[in-house]
Structure 1
Amino acid sequence: MAGQELSSWDNIDALARAVRDAGRALGFPFVAAQSDLGDPQPMSDRNCEPYAATVFDWPGHSEAYWQDRRLALKSSFLHAARICAEPMWYHRGQIGSWRPTVLLDQIDCSKVTAQFGFTAAIIAPTHLPGGRIGAVVWVTREEVDLPTIFSRESERLFALAFRFIAAHAEASAPLRAHSAVGQLTGREVQCVRWAAAGKTNTEIGMILSLSVSTVRFHLRNAGAKLGAASRSRTIQLATGHGFLGART
């Protein structure tokens, strides 16, 4: 078990270096990465050392920007990663993807270059099971042929970022999250769906012609299969794993 864990982290560290080197080769020497945008702690290695300090470079690196726990809420790039699951580009105040999308049109990046000196960026969001979202961002302060680079390299960078973020997310997750998510029954999905709609157990029982104790039984089983300790977490994980979008 220990050998497998070490091998896993060695692979993650190698992926971190590959992410860095891929950016440098394309003229994007600065990298920021986070495997969970909802986690205020920086993305770190097995020794809890932030990759931002040990592997990646960033303008103003000495300022330890990763210690700013509000960064994920302030960054327009990370906001874009939350609402778009495809590779994106930034160039002098504009942000977009390989296709037009009104979602990105709503994000104001007009001050990014003036504030940080970034002339261009490639953003690779990673949307993982359970609703977990991460991202890798490559940036440059130099003039680059962004349209050509993005067209030619964005899919490769996206795949590399996904491998890095997904591997790190699994290795750094709590032990309970490593258990395989069980398949919910149709009745469990129905109970969770109505709970997500704000119905009480009594109301769910009336809707589905079940006793209150049976509703509790189904919700408890659904939570156990998802590794959730509360009703709200059961709803969140069921949604993130796609159960509430399925017809039953």
Structure 2
Amino acid sequence: MADRFHTTSAKFQNRWGTGLSALGSEEDVAETLDDIVKRYGFRGYLLINVPSETSTDFSSNVLLTSWPGEMLETYDHAGLIFGSPVVEHLRQSTTPFAYDADRTNRRRADGKAAIAASLFERHGLSRGAYFPAHNSAGLRGALAFGGMREALNPREMAELNAMANLIFTEVVDMRAGRRQNVSLSRREIECLSWASAGKTSVEMSEILGLSEYTVNHYLNRATRKLDAVNRVQAVAKAIRAGLLN
């Protein structure tokens, strides 16, 4: 364990220790997180802003993740953000904590414990830990790792917790620096606008007189420009950036 941690820490410090200029891009961040996932025996990572009390979906709060897109969509479609013990814990505490999808979701009061536990088990993310983070402006986030391995020991919890604030702060700063440079085409804005109204790609193709393939092309391109993980998050980010009414 010591050798593994020192190797990860050295790589982490080489990449991150000199600040934003050493990072290059979010791809570098994702590569580092993928390396941490492999070294600690996890299956995926999740970097988020802590959802506010008024958040109606989880996806719009995701900064970076290796969770499958299908899993995020299913999570939001089932409304699992409401009554989530994990989200509630993150809103109330800044202490790192482990989770077990089965045991943790038993605390749900909405009758969706089995749905939530099954979703995480199906995607191999039944056990893991969350590490709350914040930046100098007071924005709160969290870095999580999940898989099927045994619970993290205290030293592993401390090692991963030491990385959370730095990763969260750097990603937030990178996005803040790029926010003013996001530019969407007229067609991209049209497609996102109709997506925000709940229209499917097929419905949009009929409304706009475009092929379904072309509509998906515009939506995918807008999603990439906005650093979003899916169209739901792209819509939310476009609204926050003032690109959609």
TM-score with structure 1 setting the length: 0.46
TM-score, normalised with respect to structure 2: 0.47
